[in-house]
Amino acid sequence: MKPMHKNLVIDGVVLIIYLVVVNPAITGIGLHEWLGLGIVVVFFIHCLVHYDWIIDVLKGIAISPSLARQGNLLLDLATFVVFVVVTVSGIGISSAVLQAFGLYAGGYYFWDPLHSISAKVLLALLLVHVVVHWKWFLSFFKQEKGDKHE
């Protein structure tokens, strides 16, 4: 499998898992919590798959800083920070996961609104992330179309 195909497959799986996880009406709260922890693993796999790209961006900013590169890095850092907030606040309001370990977290009325707001911000940032990378998707599908005609 070509690296670009592998990346798209992994990103597609990440998107599908994310869309299921973010809707506890589909899964129920308990499964939502466990899948939410699982998406942390998927998120790190996504980062590992795109490791070369991350290094290229960091080198590019160091060598030739541009507004586009800096904006992209800022978007990715904001997405990471909000992802961490969603994860931590989700653990803070957890009933199933914490209970499974015999734990309880206080502060529900702090964690619950924080989780709700940060989850919506994360969704918005992920949509912006996809839009910013539209050229990558376009080049993939152009390449795929060209491969079929050969």
**Interval 11-60: pLDDT, tens:** 777 778 788 888 889 889 999 999 998 888 888 887 887 888 788 878 88
Query: Could you identify the residue written with the tokens 């989700």?
Result: 90
**Interval 95-120: pLDDT, tens:** 899 999 999 889 999 999 999 999 99
Name, in order, each residue with C-beta under 8 angstroms of 95's C-beta and a sequence gap of 6 or more.
Answer: 29, 30, 33
Name, in order, each residue with C-beta under 8 angstroms of 23's C-beta and a sequence gap of 6 or more.
Answer: 32
Name, in order, each residue with C-beta under 8 angstroms of 131's C-beta and a sequence gap of 6 or more.
Answer: none
**Interval 69-81: pLDDT, tens:** 888 889 989 999 9
Q: Burial of 93 by CB count in 10 Å (0-12 exposed, 13-18 middle, 19+ buried)?
A: buried
Domain residue limits, the chain: 3-149
Neighbours of 39 (CB within 10 A): 21
